[in-house]
Amino acid sequence: MIKQYRKWIAALMFISGLLAFTGGKLQAAQIKMTTSLGFGDFVIPGHWVPLRVQIKGGVDSARVEVIRYNEDENNPSREIFAVSNPAAGASQLEIPVLASFKVKRVVTRLYHGKQLLTEQSLNLSGKIFPGHLILAINLPAAEQQAIQKSLLPDEPVLAVPIQPEELPGSGLNYDGVSGVVINNPGLVLAPAQIKTLRSWLTGGGRLVIVAASQQPPNWVRRLAGGNWNLQPKGYQEVFPVGFGSLIIIHPKSDAAGILQFSGEWRKILNLKPYLQSLRISAGQCFPGPVTVKPGQKFSLINPLSLFFLLWVGAAVFLNLYQKKKPPLNRFLILTLFSVAAAVPLAGILAKLWKHGAAWHTQAVILPDGGGALVCANIGLYPSNESGVYGSPWGVTVTGPSDEEGGINFETDRESGRRMAFWRRQHTPSQYSLSAGGSNNLVLTGCFPEFRVNQTRSPSNTPDTPDPWLPQLLIPNETVSWDGRQWRLLINYSLNGPLWREISGPPQWFQDGVELMKRCQALFADTLWLGGRNRLPRHLCLKIQGSPIPEYFWVMPAPF
Amino acid sequence: MAAIIISEINGWRANFSRRTLLVLMAVTAICGSLAFLRPEYCLVILTGVFIWIGLVAGKQSWSEAKIDGWAIEGKKAPGLVFSGKLTAVLLITLIHFVVLLPALILTNAIWGIPWWILGETLVSYALTTVLMAALGMLGTLSFGDISEFPRKLFSALFLAVTCIPGLWDSNPVWQVWNLVTSKSPGGMVQFIPNLIVIVLLALVAQFCFPREAVEGG
């Protein structure tokens, strides 16, 4: 009987084999994605700008990928993050994107699982504005025009009207903003917006509040801090906040028209030719990737080969010793011994090797507790480098706020080139991808807060207004530079710091010198301090399973 | 059924355990040394070892009694014998996983590969081995004692799933590659088609056995 059907059975088996490993495909869902880049669709080259992505319904979980392509299509870099529950309504994402001079277009892709749902490409050519950008909320058109003409005939200024909810919630997105004018005294802002606004002010931003009433809201008072006056003095009040200023204007009826004069706005916003503008921003402090040299190289060949040689050798020996008896018991006993040996060996190898990554981190600590700008250059070893190989899972990075992400390389489906990517588990993340190369990747973060670690005894802490300062200023690991003379910190006590003049930057600070010079060039009258390895944990990224990397920090001296 | 399983395991232990275990260890050791235990190479190459084990099991090379022997002389239902032999293949595969454990520990620690990927890869190995064994046994059962059948069937299948891009997902090597290089858990749902196919083959085995042979015997 079977012979009659054997061809059918063979066919059934063949088809079964083909179907065996095929899983179900997810169906595309109805989903809409809209994207916009910059403010008023304009981007400031060399600075961070917000990429706004709006996703409307359709799937319960999705993944957004942002890919930046350079003019020559070389070194595209990709940032990936999960979007939770867009089906519940519209999801609005504000993603900082570095519009470096090389970037030609930004592609945003939306995935559900492995399925590409939709894709949008934004071309940057024609949207570049290399000048001052002023954000204006509820400002009359005449005053916006006055701002735009304030530096004419030398250069135009771009005043972009925005809605209050468009004020950035991520500090990096203020990077290209020279000033903010708010003509809405009763405006309510989210706490994240207030924090980032203050951080931007301390770096040199200028915020102008046009207040018709005498009582600006609480958040304005908080921005002014201890400088707040209960009784306003005159038409214009200026509250210095770090390197920046909060300006409150009380336009009286007889002076209402003054804000329509370009010259007035030039003074209020302290506008100078764009290239002479002074502001600490991530785009200016961290202009490009730093070459990361691999640290200690470590070859896996010898210990692994030795282990496997012993492993197989022992198995062969045990089996040759008594050929006739079934060798299964011996295999299992050998496995027990091998596991016992593999556990400590694995620990040793993993620590020595660090998954093939090295990195170099720089930070600028903003004055007046305005937070910090941090830039991490991460170098993954190329797979063809002798003896050192990058992991196919890249590097797992843990960071502040329990955020976790992975860094790795993949081949871009469009250009076919190897590109770095930063995959983060949480949205939003404190860190954003600023550049990627064939073997390196740069993450930049803007932290609006600066807190101290609670690890040290308060008895060691001098009574200073900045309690974190003694933790940062470690003798022999802190230098100062005023543009002429380098000094090394000898001691820091209640009486203040004690310095010793040195001929140049010490060897251990060589990787931080460029950053200090860039900051000093921005604010030449300020004494700048620099050091290493003493940043609070809430600013630091960490490669999982590896020691804390070296950090170089600079900050304006608070004394 | 327990007797079938025990018989199969004893047959493997006596006749083939030395060979399959040593081959597995040798391949792991060579890959591990040359490719520094890179999972996307080592684990994919190990798929070949498990396919080979499945093919050997499909030919019933180590069996003390073949399916028709159990059915005719032991008066067992062919589907039951078939299922028992496949269960034995699964257990034998698990023994191989135990032996592989030191290499998996090292891979996890050195490369940072998550355990869930290793777990899903092992499930894939187990299902590949059992599926190859099932196809081989059924082929032998259907076509008589043709020892070359499993090899030919595998060659045809492998050629098809390698040459036709639309069928790449059906390729066990490609599937392990995808598992190893994936960044998020695929879940056990992805293995359901394999399980369904194995169950279907067991059902087919029940009906394709030459009953007249049993009756005549």
pLDDT digits 0-9 by tens, A534-550? 777 777 777 765 555 67
Contact B22 A316 (CB under 8 A): yes
pLDDT for the residue B149: 65
Structure tokens at B79: 């589907």
pLDDT exceeds cutoff 80 at A365: yes
Residue B188 C-alpha, separation from nearest chain A C-alpha, in angstroms: 10
Q: Which of B17, B29, B167 sits opposite A312 (nearest CB)?
A: B29
Per residue in A283-325, pLDDT (tens digit) is 888 877 666 665 445 555 667 888 888 888 888 887 766 666 6
Cβ distance A163 to A279 under 8 Å? Answer: no
* High-pLDDT (> 70) share of chain B, %: 80
Distance separating alpha carbons of residues A457 and A537, to the nearest angstrom:
17
pLDDT for the residue A6: 64
Contact A13 B209 (CB under 8 A): no
For residue A112, give the H/E element and its range: strand A103-112
Residue B83 C-alpha, separation from nearest chain A C-alpha, in angstroms: 16
The mean of the pLDDT values for chain B is 79
pLDDT exceeds cutoff 90 at B113: no
Partner B contacted by A314 (CB < 8 A):
no
Per residue in B21-56, pLDDT (tens digit) is 889 999 999 988 887 787 878 888 999 999 999 888
Residue A135 C-alpha, separation from nearest chain B C-alpha, in angstroms: 40
pLDDT exceeds cutoff 90 at A528: yes
Average pLDDT over residues A366-387: 72
From the list A148, A145, A199, A153, the residue with the least C-alpha distance to A172 is A199
Q: Which of A12, A304, A353 sits opposite B204 (nearest CB)?
A: A12
Contact A23 B39 (CB under 8 A): no
Cβ distance B29 to A309 under 8 Å? Answer: yes
Partner B contacted by A12 (CB < 8 A):
yes
pLDDT for the residue A326: 59
Q: What is the DSSP letter of A235?
A: S
Cβ distance A364 to A531 under 8 Å? Answer: no
Write the CA distances from A357 to A329, A381, B105, B122, integer angstroms: 41, 6, 21, 28
pLDDT for the residue B97: 93
Q: What is the DSSP letter of A230?
A: S
Contact A17 B170 (CB under 8 A): yes
A16: left (phi over 0), alpha (psi -120 to 50) or beta: alpha
Chain B residues in contact with A385 (beta carbon < 8 A): none
pLDDT for the residue A229: 63
Partner B contacted by A318 (CB < 8 A):
no
Contact A393 B18 (CB under 8 A): no
Between A225 and A352, the higher pLDDT residue = A225
The mean of the pLDDT values for chain A is 77
Residue A108 C-alpha, separation from nearest chain B C-alpha, in angstroms: 20
Cβ distance A532 to A508 under 8 Å? Answer: yes
Q: Which of A18, A346, A406 sits opposite B160 (nearest CB)?
A: A18
Residue B102 C-alpha, separation from nearest chain A C-alpha, in angstroms: 5
pLDDT for the residue A460: 47
pLDDT for the residue B115: 84
| CB within 8 Å of A442: residues ≥ 6 apart | A286, A289, A290, A375, A376, A377, A378, A433, A434, A435, A436
pLDDT for the residue A501: 92
Distance separating alpha carbons of residues B112 and B183, to the nearest angstrom:
12
Q: What is the DSSP letter of A477?
A: S
Contact B197 A19 (CB under 8 A): yes
Distance separating alpha carbons of residues A551 and A477, to the nearest angstrom:
12
pLDDT exceeds cutoff 90 at A180: yes
Partner B contacted by A396 (CB < 8 A):
yes
Cβ distance A467 to A452 under 8 Å? Answer: yes
- Print burial letters for A154-163: b (CB count within 10 Å at least 16), e (below 16): eeebbbbbbe
pLDDT for the residue A231: 59
Between B68 and B16, the higher pLDDT residue = B16
Residue B41 C-alpha, separation from nearest chain A C-alpha, in angstroms: 10
Per residue in A318-346, pLDDT (tens digit) is 776 666 665 677 778 888 888 888 888 88
* Top-ranked range on mean pLDDT: pick from A99-103, A118-122, B56-60, B160-164: A118-122
Chain B residues in contact with A331 (beta carbon < 8 A): 17, 21, 99
pLDDT classification of A24: cutoffs 50, 70, 90: very low
Distance separating alpha carbons of residues A479 and A487, to the nearest angstrom:
5
Chain A residues in contact with B194 (beta carbon < 8 A): 20-21
Inter-chain CB pairs, A–B, below 8 Å? 170
Write the CA distances from A529 to A478, A516, B28, B172, integer angstroms: 7, 8, 54, 59
Cβ distance A339 to B102 under 8 Å? Answer: yes
Contact A2 B197 (CB under 8 A): no
Between A131 and B192, the higher pLDDT residue = A131
Residue B165 C-alpha, separation from nearest chain A C-alpha, in angstroms: 12
Reduced to 3 states (helix: H, G, I; strand: E, B; else coil), residue B73 is coil
Distance separating alpha carbons of residues A403 and A421, to the nearest angstrom:
16
Partner B contacted by A336 (CB < 8 A):
no
Distance separating alpha carbons of residues A294 and A491, to the nearest angstrom:
34
Chain B residues in contact with A329 (beta carbon < 8 A): none
What predicted TM-score, i.e. pTM, was given to this entire model?
Answer: 0.68
pLDDT for the residue B122: 92
DSSP percent split of chain B into helix, strand, coil, nearest 5: 80, 0, 20
Structure tokens at B129: 């081995």
Q: Which of A12, A18, A391 sits opposite B170 (nearest CB)?
A: A18
Q: What is the DSSP letter of B75?
A: -
pLDDT for the residue B134: 85
For residue A134, give the H/E element and its range: strand A133-137
Residue with tokens 């460029």: A514
